[in-house]
Each structure stands twice: as structure tokens, then as C-alpha cells.
Amino acid sequence: NPAKANYHPVDDACWRAGAPVPYLALARTLELIEATSARLKIIDILSNYFRSVIVLTPDDLLPSVYLCLNQLAPAYESLELGIAETYLMKAVGQCTGRTVPQLRASVARAGDLGLVAQSARSTQRTMFPAPPLSARSVLAALRDIARMTGHASVDKKIKKIQSLYIACRHSEARYLIRSLEGKLRIGLAEQSVLAALGAAAARTPPGGDCLDAAKGKTPDEFKAIVDEHVLTIKSVYCECPNYERVVPALLQEGLRGLAGRCRLQPGVPLKPMLAHPTKQLAHIFDRFENEQFTCEWKYDGERAQLHVPELEAGGGPDLSKAAIFSRNQENNTTKYPDVLGRLTSLLRPNVTSCVLDCEAVAYDVVNKQILPFQVLSTRKRKDASEADIKVQVCVFLFDLLFLNGEPLVRRPLLERRQLLREHFNEVPGEWQQATSRDCSSLEDVQQFLEEAVRGSCEGLMVKALAGPHAHYDIARRSHNWLKLKKDYLDGLGDTLDVVVVGAYRGRGKRAGVFGGFLLACYEPEHEQYQSLCKIGTGFSDEDLQNLTKQLQEHVIEAPRPYYSFDPQHSADVWLAAARVWEVRAADLSLSPAHRAAIGRVHPDKGISLRFPRFVRVRDDKTAEQATSAAQIADMYLAQDQVRNSTTAKTNMD
């Protein structure tokens, strides 16, 4: 029981040294985590489990990390599960003698197929029990399932799922089925897994014979050691978000060698730096009062992280291995064969390897003009052939993160920008440096913003240029980058990216298609999707037809137990939390019926959007990357009318 105080990584583990880690050991750990809400306790439980793995079966640390994150491989390998619920029901039903409708009814009661599968399995006898599952065998089987493609793959997947399911004991079935569904739902965030890894390595250092390094140290001394480990692992993972590199390096080198072995390198996409919205020009000067900053045009396209590794033999760039990754580290290389085909014109002879942060923007080559994002989104998303490409793309370079074998993320933007200008060519309409100006007055910024808008851009990015805040803040939504969109200035701080969780059938002119939708924001603390508003405006007829079609694959029987909404908003058709839309609104208001950010601003009222309008589909965001409840609460509080009334109230008090 890894929740035990003074857990002993050998005596308290349920397997022997060198044996594969039983999947049951992991499932029990997940069960404990699921029953715990305190984040520190969760980290403690998981780190005890990791300590046992480090001491007894270090090779299983990587499968354990993947399984508790419900990941199969690094994001850029795009290996995903997420098997349709009906197929999972078929697999469970065939093993337990239940029909799909019976299972559906049980799921409606229990709220979760994982729990139903667990209880169905526990009431079933097996004549010849299958050998117990191990963490590594389950991960290998899940990877096999994810890789099955083609005609007969559904049947093959169902068979493989059945063979796993039949071997499940106790809560294994619950987590196996949830993994297959694509969501563990135990409230375990990636940051907590990293913290648990760091804490485990601090207490039971890999490769040594010390089982409890806390012994003989004061709590404060030991806490400092743990903090250092956690910080190191988190920052190493930011630079090299690939557990296949980080976990073995941790096991072999311990904390000390970790940063040296896992540095940023071409081929492994890093999580990008993001910006904070600003509503008023004056805020820029509040933020960068005594700091040098620069303004760049904010292009409206798709983020493109361009990686060019060095030839194995050295001496020059290996263009055949160049790759483009999305904002979410997905591999977009086959989407942009045209862009990669013209790399030679970009790289000057003094470049052997690089990682560039860029925006790919649709471009009208004849009229030499930037085109709206909507045009870019009509490009094929994968396996595009150069001959078929109709929408041309110009890549705007705005940052240089790695050059000739050296990560640059810790250097100030001023230096990175200088290197960017010195090492890369501009080719009009193909490769261009982001237009920038180091403004010094409010009028300058205002004028530059107007120029950006006339140049078909969304607005400006304002960035710390020199000084202590001008490094590249990997994976952070940072105050060192501010975004200023033209429509921020009079409306809400930003558009919102929200999750579509339900749909309402259209009537009259909209009969036959969905006419309205229920939108939600994500609350990571409770892993909930909280209703934010209904929306029916901003859609063209064509939009509604396309969206109705697109959403069909996400239709589910009943709302998920982790959807929080008022019954008055019950949808005609419920949808799995999969699609993210960008919406605009007049403002945010407190709502007795909607649940977004409930408890953050008001104890029992949520926040809702007034006059929401659909802007576009955000294919580059996952549901968990939608605007969070905390961001919604911040946006609500930042509204002038709310701020003024709070200030007035405080003054009266």
C-alpha cells in the first residue's frame, strides 16, 4: 500500500526484485490516487510506488510512467488509443455474456464503463485463469492496439482487448478500460507525475543501495533535496519532453547527469512558450516599466516549430530529417512538404542544425498578401502531396531556440533575434522574419498595432527583449510575452477556446442539422467540463452542416459523469469532450445556472458568456487545453465593470 506512512520500497511492495511489475500494483496505486484529492498526498503515493519500481524493477519505470499518464509514446509519434465506447462494450459484453444495451444501462447508472467492466469481471468465474498482467505487457498490448490499422483492425482490436480483459484482476479492469477509452480520470496531472518521479529519485536514488535518503536528515534538509530534484526533472522534461530519454537517463545518471543527457535537440519538439492577453495598451507599460521590450506582428496562422538536425557524419544540416511540429508537439511534417522542400533557400551556409519557432500563414502569392486563418485550415492535414497543394504558405520566423548544436532558450531574445537575422535568409512570400519594432512610447505601439492590423495580422505580440525575463519560457503562458489583439481593446480580453459537450437539434431553417450547442470550459483541478453557455450565433449554414457532420463521431449516449451542468441545459445529443472552438463574447457574467469556474469567484454561482459567437474550430487544441476555469475567473474579474464595482465596494468598506 503506497499510501502507507514510512513506506518501505522493498518490504511493502507486492513483487520480487527483477520480476516484471504486476499491473495490479499499478492499478492499486491508481485506485488510491483516485480516492485522494490532496495533490501532495497523490504525489506521495505515486512516488512510493515509483521507489519500489526503481529498486526492484527499474526497467519498468518507463512503462509505469506511460501507463499512469495514459500515454503510449511521445506526443509527436501521434500514437493514440481512444477506442469508441461501442467497441469496448462489445469486447466486455462478449466476455461477460452481456448485451451492449445492458451494458449501456449499467454505464448510465454507474457513470463509467471502467467501473462496470470491473464489476462485471469480478462476478465472472474463469476456468483457466490467464497469467497475471504486468505493467510492461499491458503497455505493449496497448501500443499494439493503437498501431492496428486497416480493414480488419476493429475485430483484431476487440480480440486483443478481450484477451487483456479476461486476464484482469480487481481494479485492473477499471483502469484498462479507461486507458482504452483514452482517459484515466483519476485527477493525476502530468506535473504531479513529474513531481512524484523527482521525489522518488530523491528518496531512493536510482542505482544506489539507499532505500530512504530521508533518514538522518531534518525535514527541512530533506525537503530542499526533494525540491531540487523536482525542479530539475520538470525543467529537463520541458526542454526534452520525451520520457524515453528522461527516464533511462534518470535511472543511469541520477539527478546530476540528467540535464546533460536530456538537452533540447532537433527532432524532439518542445512545448512552446505562450502569451498572456492584454486589454489595454497602458498595461504593456505597467508590465515592462523598466525593461526593454519589442513588439512583433501577431500572424494569424498555425504555429510551426521547425527542426533541422545535423547530418550524422556532421558538417551540415540533414534536410531529409527536417520536421515541423504543431503547438501540441504533433508531427506536421507531411502537411508541409512544400515548405520543407524549400529549406535550402532559408538556411545560410553557417547553419548546421536549428530549431525555429514560426507561424505558418496562408499567403496569396500573386497579390503578395497574407490570407485569413480560415484559408489555411482548408489545407490537407496529413500526407499532402506537393502537386495537390492549392493554398500557399509563407512561414514567418519569430524565434530561434537552437542553433548549431547549442540550445539558446536561456539567452535573451535580443541575442536570439540577432542570431536569427544572421543565419537565415528571407525569401518574400516564403520565409520572412516577423515584422518587429522596439517601440518606446504608447503612441508608437498604437501606430504599430494599426499597421499590423492593416497588414492582415491579429494584433501584436509584445516581448521582453533583454534582461532577466527575456529568456524563452518553455511550456509557460508567460507574462514575458503579452498578446494584444485588435479586438481586445474594446471587448473582452481575449477570445475563448471552449469545448463542445452537447448539441441541440435545429428547427425551421436549421432542421436536419444541429442549431445550437452547449459549451464548457475545463477545470483541471476536478477534471471536469463545466458548462459555460449555449451558443447558436456566428455560424453560417455551411458551418452548421460541416460541424454537424464533424461532431457525429463524438456522439455519446449520455453526458459523462464529469460534465457539470444544470438540467435545464440538457442537450438533445451529448458529445465526448473532443472538439475545441474559439468563440467571442460581449462579456462574462455570473450565472446561477452555468457552472464554469464555480467556487472561484462566487461560492455557488458559475460564470457564463453573454452573446457568444462562433469564431472558428481550433484543431490545434485538445479539450484539456481549452480555456481553463481559472482563466475564465481571471477574465471575469479583469472586466472593467467588475473591477470598478469591486474597487468601489472596497472604497466604501
Q: Closest distance between ligand ATP and the C-beta of residue 274, in Å?
A: 3
Is residue 597 a contact partner of residue 569, using CB atoms and an 8 Å limit?
Answer: no
Q: CA separation (Å) from 424 to 264, 275, 431?
A: 20, 25, 9
Least distance from ligand ATP to the Cβ atom of residue 333, Å:
18
380 a catalytic residue = no
Sole binder of ligand ATP in the list 60, 296, 310, 330 (CB under 6 A): 296
Q: Is 398 in the site for ligand ATP (CB under 6 A)?
A: yes
d(CA 548, CA 573): 11
| Residues whose CB falls within 8 Å of the CB of residue 212, separated by 6 or more in sequence, listed in order | 8, 9, 203, 204
Interacting residue with ligand ATP among 7, 288, 299, 504 (CB under 6 A): 299
**Partner residues linked to 277 by β-bridges:** 483
Among residues 224, 228, 246, the alpha carbon closest in space to that of 66 is found at 246
> Please, are residues 168 and 27 in contact by the beta-carbon 8 Å criterion?
no
CB of 503 vs ligand ATP, minimal distance in Å: 23
Least distance from ligand ATP to the Cβ atom of residue 497, Å: 7
Q: Which is nearer to ligand ATP, 423 or 621 (CB)?
A: 621
Site string for ligand ATP, 593-612 (x = CB under 6 A): --------------------
Nearest to 465 by CA among 298, 288, 304: 288
Neighbours of 149 (CB within 10 A): 8
Long-range contacts from 63-67, C-beta under 8 angstroms, 24+ separation? 63/21, 63/135, 63/136, 63/138, 63/139, 64/21, 64/26, 64/135, 65/193, 65/197, 65/243, 65/247, 66/139, 66/243, 67/26, 67/135, 67/138, 67/139, 67/179
- The CA distance from 480 to 291, in Å, is 10
Q: Candidates 113, 115, 434, 501: give the one binding ligand ATP (CB under 6 A).
A: 434
Taking CA atoms, 624 is separated from 272, 329, 522, 580, 581, in Å, by: 16, 15, 6, 9, 12
CA atoms within 13 A on the CB side of 640: 9
Segment interacting with ligand ATP (CB under 6 A) among 149-157, 283-291, 298-306, 522-530: 298-306
From the list 296-304, 444-452, 554-562, 645-653, the region that binds ligand ATP by CB under 6 A is 296-304
Closest distance between ligand ATP and the C-beta of residue 449, in Å? Answer: 13
- Piece of 97-105, 291-299, 504-512, 603-611 that binds ligand ATP (CB under 6 A): 291-299
Residues 336-375, interacting with ligand ATP (CB under 6 A): 359
Nearer to ligand ATP, 172 or 359 (CB): 359
Block residue for cell numbers 498572456: 276
Nearer of residues 274 and 593 to ligand ATP, judged by Cβ: 274
Site residues for ligand ATP, 482-511, by CB under 6 A, read: 483
Q: Which of 229, 327, 417, 423 binds ligand ATP (CB under 6 A)?
A: 327
90 vs 621, beta carbon nearer ligand ATP: 621
469 binds ligand ATP (CB under 6 A): no
* Selected binder of ligand ATP within 21, 135, 323, 461 (CB under 6 A): 461
Smaller CB separation from ligand ATP, 251 or 461: 461
CB closer to ligand ATP, 333 vs 564: 333
DSSP secondary structure of 227-239: HHHHHHHHHHHHH
Applying CB under 6 A, does 393 fall inside the site for ligand ATP? Answer: no
Return the number of the residue (25 or 482) whose C-beta is nearest ligand ATP: 482
Q: How many helices (H) and strands (E) does the chain have?
A: 21, 22
CB 344, CB 321: distance < 8 Å: no
Catalytic residue among 90, 157, 183, 298: 298
We find the least distance from the C-beta atom of residue 624 to ligand ATP, in angstroms, to be: 13
The dihedral over CA atoms of 3, 7, 9, 14, expressed in degrees to the nearest 10, equals -60
- Specify the residue, 245 or 485, whose C-beta has the smaller distance to ligand ATP: 485
Binding to ligand ATP by CB under 6 A, coded x per residue (else -) over 242-261, reads --------------------
Four-residue CA torsion sign, 82, 84, 85, 90: negative
Least separation in angstroms between residue 398's CB and ligand ATP is 4
Give dist(CA 581, CA 566) in Å, integer: 21
Smallest separation (angstroms) from ligand ATP to the CB of 389: 21
Q: Shortest distance, CB of residue 193 to ligand ATP, whole angstroms?
A: 23
Selected range binding ligand ATP among 45-53, 214-222, 257-265, 292-300, rule: CB under 6 A: 292-300
Taking each helix axis from N to C end, the angle separating 61-69 and 39-56, rounded to the nearest 10 degrees, works out to: 150
Amino acid at 469: H
Binding-site size, ligand ATP (CB under 6 A): 12
Query: Grid cell 527516464 — which residue?
Result: 247
C-alpha cell at 330: 504533433
- Interface residue list for ligand ATP (CB under 6 A): 274-275, 296, 298-299, 303, 327, 359, 398, 434, 461, 483
Active site residues: 298
